[in-house]
Amino acid sequence: MKGKILISLILLIPFLLFGEERREYPCYLLPEAPVLDGKEEKDWESIPEATGFFLLGGEKYAMEKQTYFKCGWTKEGIYLLIKCEEPSIDKLSARLKDGEELFREDSIELFFYPKDSPNYLHLAVNGIGSRWNEIGITGQPATPWNWQAKSFIGKDFWAVELFIPFEVLKRKASDGERWLFNIARNINTGPTSEHFTCWPPLRAGFHEIQNFAFLAFKERALSLEEKGKIEEEINKPFYSFLIGVVEGLWRELEKESGSYREAISYGLGKEKMREEANYLNEAWDELGKLMQREKPSLNELRSFIIKYPNLPARFKEFNYKVLLEKLFE
């Protein structure tokens, strides 16, 4: 009896999962099938781009190396374009071939759990387009199935373009249907804190299906105007987080604006303090410009946060140094 109950619960898991609220990416029809070369070309221009990958283990966003993806479909299968920021492109680890353990290198892992399917499919692709796959979490990879991947390595990023036929997924999608899915990234070039990132907020590992996102199929193409609005909605949580960080910095610095500005002015006149004073003065000016903008872009906000880390602490430390300098004049 206990065995039958356990089997029944296992069979119910997919239905329970598909009924929960979770992050969702709307997957629209592509006007035509893209040419697979790892590059973003005209075929992708009407497909919304998603970003805001989380660090594995919680709900903190990756800040130094974000990942972006677009996903569309045709009657034959699913297409993805994934772009990975990589300032240290010369350190990219991507040498393994088809069927080898690609997740040990700089790579993307994909998980698809079609509705009414008994298990999910797990695929991986590295920076040179090598493929790996398995059914569920078996630990026994199969010979790469009939799906395609082409990569492109740029100056400060690498990208991969994929086509996964519905025949490989064992299930055809239909309008309005939602599948569980996950896009995750392995980063071997640092920082250590961003070694594992994923689009859904996962905690224990990439196979955490109870926290997978939804891939929602829409059987129509988008106009460019529609695409912009939908893209904004998809990335709204990440944008809200970034604008919150920048506004918080502004409020904190404004509390001590008088003394900080005085310290910067003093430091600009001292050769040994000039470099730090210039840095803080530039940061203050750029922060002010961001705050004056009606709606700064997501990339502008994130670029500022990366360029000027730990600003409140640096301002306090510099102010303290100026006070000491004045004391011993």
What pLDDT digit, counting tens, does each position of 109-126 carry?
A: 999 999 999 999 999 999
Token pair recorded at residue 16: 């329970």
Q: Are residues 93 and 210 in the same domain?
A: yes
- pLDDT confidence bin for 59, thresholds 50/70/90: confident
- pLDDT confidence bin for 139, thresholds 50/70/90: confident
| Domain contains 50 | yes
Can you spell out the DSSP letters for 23-37? -EEEEEEPSSPPP-S
Average pLDDT over the chain, rounded to an integer: 92
Q: Are residues 131 and 216 in the same domain?
A: yes
CA angle, corner 48, sides to 47 and 50, nearest 5? 135
Token pair recorded at residue 150: 């082409």
Last residue of a domain, one of 165, 194, 222: 222
Rounded to whole angstroms, the Cα distance separating 172 from 164 reads 11
Closest by CA position to 128, among listed 165, 100, 170, 167: 100
Q: Are residues 89 and 157 in the same domain?
A: yes
Q: Are residues 150 and 285 in the same domain?
A: no
| Domain contains 72 | yes
Last residue of a domain, one of 162, 188, 222: 222
Q: Are residues 59 and 138 in the same domain?
A: yes
Give the pLDDT of residue 12: 42
Give the pLDDT of residue 219: 97
Q: What one-letter code names the amino acid at 111?
A: F
Burial 305-317 (b: 16+ CB within 10 A, else e): eeebeebeeebbe
Q: How many domains does the chain have?
A: 2
Segment 251-307, tens digit of pLDDT: 999 999 999 999 999 999 999 999 999 999 999 999 999 999 999 999 999 999 999
Domain enclosing residue 113, as ranges = 2-222
CATH number of residue 102's parent domain: 2.60.40.1190
Q: Are residues 180 and 261 in the same domain?
A: no
Q: Are residues 178 and 310 in the same domain?
A: no
Closest by CA position to 70, among listed 50, 46, 54, 90: 50
Q: Are residues 48 and 195 in the same domain?
A: yes
Q: Are residues 154 and 295 in the same domain?
A: no
Q: Are residues 205 and 274 in the same domain?
A: no
Identify the weakest region by mean pLDDT among 70-74, 81-85, 135-139: 135-139
Token pair recorded at residue 140: 């026994």
Q: Looking at residue 202, what DSSP letter applies?
A: -
Residue with tokens 């903190």: 60
| Domain contains 227 | no
CA angle, corner 36, sides to 35 and 38, nearest 5? 125
| Domain contains 229 | no
Q: Are residues 34 and 65 in the same domain?
A: yes
The pTM for the full model equals 0.90
| Domain contains 103 | yes
